[in-house]
């Protein structure tokens, strides 16, 4: 079983409009709702790839009930979310269908009490006993300690469960110091962590800070990965246009599935890039266009070079 953690779950709402104009009134042509938050998106993609998945984190209020009801319809995803008093947040993505651009609005999430945080940690430790890998994903809701991911990384490592960390800011900085097996920042997050805007220098710096493997998401340019065994670049054969929301989460699913299947790193990266590109063409995060994924999986260019480790 692969475990994904989403401490700040959400109900993802996507609006499609012909043209998004500030201060204007817009007629929405299509609305979709999906359980959201990075780890839930990762979990749905993993399930679509045929893996057993359990999702945990926090959920509460009327929005949380909608999230859980919809999760129950997601084949292959087991709900182990921890109930809280505060309402689960909503995220709003507005897609301009003329330009393909997306505007994102994210609510902060519920305030988590010390008792709720303690209840989650108990659930997490129990779930780790049957986990083959764990992904720690996304932002922290109010009330959760800023060092929460560092603590969860150490707990996973103590249980000998490989752990991937995908977050940003201070939670990322502290989490990296706990020595996760994989971190997957985007270019902006990596620069904030290391102070370097050169991806090569930044990945080396992130490894020196504690990460065993750094996989940097470079947007349309694909992925740059480095560990003690080497350095690789993986790029899609062509640029795809659509809604990029959730593309990074699909890349995480590709990396995790490759980890538990014990694939060589070039194959893991090719899968991650193909899934990411195929998600851009899907209607909502946590989904991917399977024909596009299958077509791209063998077309992703992966190049290898010596690691500076």
Residues with a catalytic annotation lie at 249
Evaluate the CA torsion angle 14, 190, 168, 128 in order and state its sign.
positive
HSE-up of residue 283 (Cα within 13 Å, Cβ side): 9
163's CB contacts (< 8 A; 6+ apart) are 133, 134, 135, 136, 152, 153, 156, 157, 180, 181, 182
Q: Is 39 helix (H, G, I), strand (E, B) or coil?
A: helix
The torsion angle over the Cα atoms of residues 287, 176, 205 and 43, rounded to 10 degrees, is -10
Evaluate the CA torsion angle 257, 100, 298, 185 in order and state its sign.
negative
């Amino acid at each position: 079983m692969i475990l994904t953690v989403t401490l700040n779950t959400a109900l993802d709402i996507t609006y499609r409009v012909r043209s998004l104009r500030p201060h204007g009134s817009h007629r929405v042509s299509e609305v979709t709702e999906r359980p959201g938050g990075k780890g839930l998106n990762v979990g749905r993609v993993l399930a679509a790839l045929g893996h057993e998945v359990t999702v945990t984190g926090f959920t509460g209020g009327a929005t949380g009930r909608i999230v859980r009801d919809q999760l129950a319809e997601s084949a292959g995803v087991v709900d182990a979310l921890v109930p809280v008093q505060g309402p689960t947040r909503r995220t709003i993505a507005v897609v301009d269908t003329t330009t393909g651009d997306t505007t994102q609005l994210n609510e902060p999430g519920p305030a988590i009490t010390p008792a709720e945080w303690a209840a989650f940690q108990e659930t997490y430790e129990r779930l780790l006993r049957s986990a083959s890998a764990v992904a720690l994903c996304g932002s922290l809701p109010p009330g959760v300690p800023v060092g929460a991911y560092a603590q969860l990384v150490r707990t996973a490592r103590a249980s000998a469960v490989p752990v991937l960390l995908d977050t940003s800011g201070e939670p990322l900085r502290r989490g990296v110091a706990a020595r996760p097996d994989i971190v997957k920042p985007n270019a902006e997050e990596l620069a904030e962590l290391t102070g370097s805007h050169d991806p090569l220098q930044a990945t080396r710096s992130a490894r020196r800070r504690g990460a065993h493997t750094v996989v940097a998401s470079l947007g349309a340019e694909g992925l740059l990965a480095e560990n003690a065994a080497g350095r690789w670049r993986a790029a899609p054969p062509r640029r795809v246009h659509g809604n990029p929301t959730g593309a990074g989460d699909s890349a995480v699913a590709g990396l995790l599935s490759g980890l538990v299947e014990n694939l060589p790193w070039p194959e893991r990266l090719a899968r991650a890039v193909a899934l990411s590109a195929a998600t851009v063409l899907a209607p909502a995060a946590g989904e991917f266009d399977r024909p596009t994924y299958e077509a791209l999986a063998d077309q992703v260019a992966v190049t290898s070079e010596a690691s500076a480790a």
